[in-house]
Structure 1
Amino acid sequence: MKDILSALLNELTLSRKQMVEVFEQIMTGTAEPAAVGAILALIQQRGASVDEITGAATVMRSKVTKVTVPNGLTAIDTCGTGGDHAGTFNISTAAAIVAAGAGRENDLVVAKHGNRSVTSKSGSSQVLETLGVKLMVSGETLTNCLDKAGLCFCFAQAHHPAMKHAAPIRAALGIPTIFNILGPLTNPAGATRQVMGVFSHDLTEPIAKVLANLGAEHAMVVHGKGLDELITWGKTRVSSVENGEVRTYDVNPAEFGIKPCRVEDLQVDSSAASAAVIEKILGGDKGPARDIVCLNAGAALLVGGIAKDLATGYALAQHAIDTGKAKAALDQLIAITQADMS
């Protein structure tokens, strides 16, 4: 580790190979905690490079407890980094439910990856638990959820056992580190298609390049005016990766006839409040919350390959709500997980 520390102190970036070696030691508990803390802090100070993130994510992927996707189905994810401090309801989680409702009949399923929140009022696990989803279930149950509901929730705590070696060091540091962006890059179902929100405008293109390095088939990395989501009150910066190529552009919601709202219209103060918003959306309520969910679900359907463009995806998402298919996906997810005896 001394050569790594020396390189970082001299303001050099690590190669992908070096980062793999570092993270192998971190994730197996063989590295000295003091050295790990110093390495994480030094990388955070200047910002992680594409190769550094790629190397770290490669190791994390190799340590994950995997979820089996049924034959013939394509899995996608809508997991974001969080960290935007916007206090909105769980938009990407709601988008995952709606995308599942639209996608299952087309052999597209959502393996939603998520955890408990650190920076928001309600993380994906908290809101799903409030809605009635059992979080700690067997791998067989998760596979059954994908098959029957078109949706499963991969609770990060159950799928990343190697994180136990890094957790005390992260807690002791008390600052954001490269780990804050690694979660969405390590989907347990091995999803190669995803919409990933990031907490900074500057991260969309680097993270898209990382996803290209990791073999993504089609992904969109998004950031909208401080949120790790596609937004409806201004332009969203998108860096998409498809066939190994990265393209960056802006999405304007006005092109889809979406009325602009304020972020305050989407804010909640608890998991219960977030769950209530999601239930109203699935029940057919129209308004800003539905609009932003359909926009993000539409992006998921685009990367999933069943929508030719974002406008089509947006329309398919609306249809899934209006026909009750989105609500049915959540209802089945709740029923299947609650029946698990783990």
Structure 2
Amino acid sequence: MKEILYKLFDYQYLSRDEAKEVLFSIVKGDVPDTQIAALITSFLMRNISVDEILGFRDALLDMRVGVDLSDYDALDIVGTGGDGKNTFNISTAACFVVAGAGYNVVKHGNYGATAISGASNVIEQQGVQFSTDSDKLRKSLDHSGIAYLHAPLFSPALKAVAPVRKSLGVRTFFNVLGPLVNPVQPEFQMLGVYNLAMSRLYGYIYQEEKKKFCIVHSMDGYDEISLTGQFKVVNNQGEQLYIPEELGFQRLAQKELYGGNTLEEASTIFRNVLHARGTEAQMNAVLVNAAFGIQTIEQDKSIHDCLEIAKDSLYGKKALLALKKFVEINN
């Protein structure tokens, strides 16, 4: 590990195999927290390479708790996190809108590392008990359209570094890894990233793996479509820059997306949105992200058609029904 650290401190890159072995060593408990922190910090000093991220990803997938849900052709909507915006749980709410519209969603998430409430926090606040039980996950998909995979249960390496990530309190390469290590490896992936360099990195990876994907980035730094200004969308068809007005939305202020100071506040916002009682800003942010999630699956549909599908799910209370069934099965 010392040799690896010296290499990184000298601004050299790890091979895919080296990165894989490093993560195996961390999980085996061979690396003290101080060295884990040094490793994480070194990647804050420069961009991570494709080989490095693939090596770390390979290790996590090799060690994951397996669950086969491949017959559901599901979508995951996830953000890298680490944008420092402390928004409410937009991506998680969007997942229920997509599920309410009749599509299968396998959401992979974790507790918040750099924000008050991560996906696992807000899901747990609804009374949900996390599980690796394949039958339960299938039942959840069959009856609510969504299954939730709590990352530490499926990826022991993420659990091993959680205390260090939390104490550092800044985005790390584990934020980059999270979207790549959904243990189901779903057919469709919608991903929010916090900068354009990350967009390019994931674009290379998804194209190499022939994924059906959609990468979104708000140009003012959000790892989701914030409607606070221009945003870029990269997918299998290419890339496009949008402004909120061309989709029929008014621009939002950052404060309108605020996620609260406590888990209880974040949970209240989440429930209000899915009850169609959120503010117009909150509802629109969820709708636009859900719409691009739907278009990731329905690539022949226009984004305006997908927005109508999302609105029908949210305002028609189909998303709320999906949430209620999901909680009933998973409590």
Q: 1:159-180, CA deviations, whole angstroms, 9 ceiling, x for partnerless residues?
A: 1123344446656766543222
1:45 alignment partner, SS class: coil
1:5/1:39 contact within 8 Å kept: yes
Report the 3-state secondary structure (helix = DSSP H, G, I; strand = E; otherwise coil) of the residue aligned with 2:203.
Answer: helix
**In structure 2, distance between residues paired with 1:295 and 1:48:** 30
Q: 1:250 aligns with which of 227, 234, 241?
A: 241
Could you say which residue in structure 2 is the equivalent of 1:18?
18
The 3 A distance-change label for structure 1 pair 277 and 30 is: closer
- 1:296 match: secondary structure: helix
1:111 and 1:229 mapped to 2: Cα distance? 18
Gaps of 5+ in 2: none
1:272 to 264, 275, 299: 264
- Trace 1:1-342 onto structure 2 (pairs within 5 A): 1=1, 4-30=4-30, 36-69=36-69, 71=71, 73-102=72-101, 104=102, 108-136=103-131, 138-167=133-162, 170=165, 176-240=171-235, 242=236, 247-269=238-260, 270-285=262-277, 287-305=280-298, 308-338=301-331
Taking only the aligned residue pairs, the percentage that are identical comes to 30
Residues 132 and 154 of structure 2 are in contact (CA less than 8 Å); yes or no, is this contact kept in structure 1?
no
1:101 Cα offset (Å): 0.7
Instruction: Tell me the TM-score normalised to structure 2 length.
Output: 0.88
- Displacement of 1:12 in angstroms is 2.2
Contact 2:82/2:171 (<8 A) preserved: no
CA distance in 2, matches of 1:306, 1:145: 26
* Structure 1 residue 200: Cα displacement: 2.7
Distance change >3 Å, CA 5–CA 249, structure 1 → 2: same
Q: Deviations over 1:77-127 (max 9, x none)?
A: 11212222222211001100001111x3xxx31111111112222221222
Q: Distance in 2 between matches of 1:187 and 1:169?
A: 21
Residues 214 and 30 (structure 1), Cα distance of their counterparts in 2 relative to 1, 3 Å cut:
farther
| Coordinate RMSD, CA, aligned | 2.6
Shift of residue 298, structure 1, vs aligned partner: 0.7
Once the two structures are TM-superposed, the CA of residue 60 in structure 1 deviates from its matched residue by: 1.2
How many residue pairs end up in the alignment?
Answer: 329
Could you say if the C-alpha distance between residues 132 and 31 of structure 1 is closer, same or farther in structure 2, counting changes exceeding 3 Å? closer
User: What's the CA shift string for 1:285-309, capped at 9, x where partnerless?
Assistant: 4611111111000111111236623
Counterpart CA distance in 1 for 2:264 and 2:294 is: 27
Q: Determine the C-alpha separation between the residues in 1 that align with 2:40 and 2:87.
A: 29
Query: Which secondary structure does the structure 1 equivalent of 2:149 belong to?
Result: strand
**Amino acid across the alignment from 2:270:** I
Gaps of 5+ in 1: none
User: TM-score normalized by structure 1?
Assistant: 0.85
Q: CA 1:173 to 1:147, structure 2 compared with 1: closer, same or farther past 3 Å?
A: same
